[in-house]
Amino acid sequence: MDFNVKKLASGAGLFFTRAVQFTEEKLGQAEKTELDAHFENLMSRADCTKNWTEKIYRQTEVLLQPNPSARIEEFLYEKLDRKAPSRITNGELLGQYMQDAAKEFGPGTPYGSTLIQVGECERRLGAAEREFLQTSAISFLTPLRNFLEGDWKTISKERRLLENLRLDLDACKTRLKKARLAEAKTAMAPDFQETRPRNYVLSASASAAEHELRVAQTEFDRQAEVTRLLLEGISSTHVNHLRCLHEFVEAQAAYYKQCHFHMQELQKELGSQLLLCISSPVETDTLKIEEVQAPATGTRKAKVLYDYDAADSSELSLLADEVRFHHQTAASGSNKNHCPLATLGGPPLLQNFVNKLELL
């Protein structure tokens, strides 16, 4: 228990000393040990690598899995050290819906058979997407995550330790400087009654400060060398990430090539079906104007909406709001005030005629 209290007190004192040194440095009241330019460049390069690697990793996750809920679920399963359940891709789900719809519409119909073919193609595209996601996660995302969660955490830990040792070193330099100033001040204005005891205490204090400074300098230099080696390892990290990037590009190229192949095969199948339908058209019953018969019995009236001049002798000239037409019956042979449908000359003229009349 006494040991723990002493250790806690020592740690608290060390923390307070570092806090005082850090504050005085910010206020410009204490000197700060500067690292060499090469070391500063290594740290800047490491920070840049970490920032951009994290951005690339996050955006690649969004590319491979746009659904944020699914990403959170995968993250939780990973933290719980459990295997995430297999999830069907959107392409596979769309293909399943199309094939189910084809069963409802009838697989023998043109629409149903086409739905079956397109649905099968979508399922192949979904399977290719699943393979691409798995390959990319293993070959590209995993190395980036290992760097962020492994190497970078180690580098950050050593850098924090180096910063703490630098604060200790500068605090030792400050104590030594103060001890020497006090010793010099005492030597310039001696007190003859207590000269020997005070000089002895000040000399001992300066010697202790020099010893602490030598120890702090040794620890700082050793930690600086360890941190330097870790920072220089960023070059190896770049080489590793470059290799992973090539693998990611190859996986993407294979995926899009496979998708292009499936879509070309689908286009060929649909094109051959279209040519087959054109070569063997379906017979349909078409109503011809010659087959149109006038009503056998009854009388119909029509009101002229605007004037119309007959194009030839087979047509009638019409006056707006004045002329009414009565179709002849089957038993009547008179054409007076009648307009037989056969004289209209086909659907275009019939439509032109109907547009001029308002049926009553």
pLDDT at residue number 261: 96
210 in Cβ contact with 22 (< 8 Å):
no
**CATH class of segment(s) 14-279:** mainly alpha
Instruction: Give 179-233 pLDDT, tens digit per residue.
Output: 777 766 766 655 555 545 555 555 667 778 788 889 989 999 999 999 999 999 9
Instruction: Give 82-141 pLDDT, tens digit per residue.
Output: 777 778 889 999 999 999 999 999 988 889 999 999 999 999 999 999 999 999 999 999
Q: What are 358's strand-pairing partners?
A: 303
Kindly list the distances between the CA atom of residue 152 and the CA atoms of 43, 114, 280, 296, in Å, as whole numbers in the listed order. Answer: 12, 53, 69, 97
CATH 2.30.30 applies to domain 292-360: yes
Task: Please indicate whether residue 336 or residue 245 has the higher confidence score (pLDDT).
Answer: 245
Report how far residue 341's alpha carbon sits from residue 70's, in angstroms, rounded to the nearest whole number. Answer: 70
Amino acid at 215: V
- What are the sequence ranges of the domains in the chain? 14-279, 292-360
pLDDT at residue number 117: 93
Average pLDDT over the chain, rounded to an integer:
77
CB within 8 A of 263, min separation 6: which ones? 121, 125
pTM of the model as a whole: 0.65
pLDDT at residue number 95: 94
pLDDT at residue number 300: 56
User: Which among 11-25, 63-77, 254-268 has the top mean pLDDT?
Assistant: 254-268
Report how far residue 355's alpha carbon sits from residue 305's, in angstroms, rounded to the nearest whole number. Answer: 8
Domains 14-279 and 292-360 share a fold: no
pLDDT at residue number 67: 79
Q: What 8-state DSSP symbol labels residue 304?
A: E
